[in-house]
Amino acid sequence: MVPRDFEIDKDIRRASTLPARVYSDPNYFELQKDRVFARSWQWVGDAARVKAPGRVAPFTLLDGCLNEPLVLTSDDEGTTHCLSNVCTHRGAIVVEGEGHARSLRCRYHGRKYSLDGKFVSMPEFDTTVGFPSEKDNLPQLALERFGPLLFSGLAPEMPFDEWIAPVRERVSFMPLDQFVRDNATSQDYLINANWALYCDNYLEEFHIPYVHAGLAEKLDYSGYRTERYRYGNLQLGIAKAGEPAFDLPKGHPNASERVGAFYFWLFPNIMFNFYPWGLSLNVVTPQAAGRTKVAFHSYVWNPALRESGVGAGLHRVEMEDEEVVESVQRGVRSRLYDRGRYSERREVGTHHFHELLADFMARPPATNGSSRLTSRE
């Protein structure tokens, strides 16, 4: 059970931050795998990866954290599926390489499935009683699309439409299906810090003038603010005069403002950073209690604006963030530090994150109906 002192007061003026041990205790890290990440929506790839009928693409969901073997498939009708990549006979990996196939066959004992995961055949099982049954199909996960991006999850706590709604409503004016992935500027970063500390830093406005001098010169800090939603929040990056800003349509909630960036965070670990040039999608993947991988995926719409405004120099901003987050990781291990307080004006997003994280950690273990998603406390 999670101690009651993890509770976060809903009144930010009275609230204290999460206890320091949340960021360093391996037991809490293990608990978060099933109570937080197994209950969430996660980015699982680009829709273009499984565009053609017969395409199969195996992957590991949150490699280093959930480590769940899955496979994306496109059937003969071009419908995309997200399936378990574990054979329902003896647990072997079914698809071991990306390519094209008419069906899925386990190389261990020859069990065959259709591209939607349905059981087809199995040698030497003619006398098995009650076979086949629904349990012999490959489990199929919910799969949703947002622009060029695909999302799935083991047992998402919330409907996808509710989770993605704030993003969809604010950036619907952008032609997301025209965004093109830029592998040259997509890269992974390994950080010696807890994943939640990285999110803490992303979600608070306070550090911008102190840590990001270059970025602060392009942003109007007085107009910078955070809006809360049920499962996420938005930081509005208002651009200073002369800096690139969105050409927002009439009727847009921010049509009267010079917005240089929409910084969305969706619980627990996904950031959508929209700039006039396109999108930088950040996926934060825990590797250990004090180790995190952050993947930057770039999708370009207007390449002419790629290196201007608040959306330029993202690598430098990331290096500045990593330096300070790793410093905080060392600090929260101190025996003399436990909890801090929030700035009502500048730490709205961090307070919101802590509320959600404490709530999810306190809930009973998730289940997907097969009793597989149980806590390993």
Residue 371 has what pLDDT?
40
Rounded alpha-carbon distances, angstroms, from residue 156 to 54, 56, 62, 72, 354: 27, 24, 14, 18, 19
Confidence band (pLDDT; 50, 70, 90) for 367?
Answer: low
Residue 29 has what pLDDT?
96
Q: Rounded mean pLDDT of 273-278?
A: 97
Confidence band (pLDDT; 50, 70, 90) for 2?
Answer: low
Q: Rounded mean pLDDT of 95-108?
A: 97
> Over the chain, what is the mean pLDDT?
94
Residue 1 has what pLDDT?
59
Q: Rounded mean pLDDT of 91-118?
A: 97
List pLDDT tens digits, range 241-266. 999 999 999 999 999 999 999 999 99
Q: Rounded mean pLDDT of 117-123?
A: 98
User: Is the pLDDT assigned to residue 365 strictly greater than 90?
Assistant: no
Question: Could you give the CA distance from residue 165 to residue 31 in angstroms, rounded to a whole number?
Answer: 28
Is 293 or 214 the better-scoring residue by pLDDT?
293
- Quick one: DSSP state of residue 155? S
Alpha helices in 83-227 (DSSP H): 160-171, 195-203, 208-211, 213-216
User: Is the pLDDT assigned to residue 276 strictly greater than 70?
Assistant: yes
Is 377 or 56 the better-scoring residue by pLDDT?
56
User: Is the pLDDT assigned to residue 3 strictly greater than 50?
Assistant: yes
Handedness of CA 201, 295, 142, 37 (dihedral sign): negative
Confidence band (pLDDT; 50, 70, 90) for 5?
Answer: low
Q: Among 62-76, 138-152, 202-216, which stretch is predicted with the lowest mean pLDDT?
A: 202-216
Residue 376 has what pLDDT?
33
Question: Could you give the CA distance from residue 359 to residue 6 in angstroms, rounded to a whole number?
Answer: 9
Contact indicator for 78, 90 with CB cutoff of 8 Å: no
List pLDDT tens digits, range 217-241. 999 999 999 999 999 999 999 999 9
Question: Could you give the CA distance from residue 241 to residue 243 in angstroms, rounded to a whole number?
Answer: 6
User: Is the pLDDT assigned to residue 370 strictly greater than 60?
Assistant: no
Q: Among 150-154, 163-167, 251-255, 366-370, which stretch is predicted with the lowest mean pLDDT?
A: 366-370
Confidence band (pLDDT; 50, 70, 90) for 6?
Answer: confident
Question: Could you give the CA distance from residue 73 to residue 117 in angstroms, rounded to a whole number?
Answer: 9
Residue 363 has what pLDDT?
86
Question: Could you give the CA distance from residue 197 to residue 247 in angstroms, rounded to a whole number?
Answer: 34
Residue 366 has what pLDDT?
59
Q: Rounded mean pLDDT of 72-101?
A: 97
Segment holding 109, helix H or strand E = none
List pLDDT tens digits, range 131-159. 999 999 999 999 999 999 999 999 999 99
Confidence band (pLDDT; 50, 70, 90) for 374?
Answer: very low
| Domains of the chain with bracketed CATH | 42-145 (2.102.10.10), 177-362 (3.90.380.10)
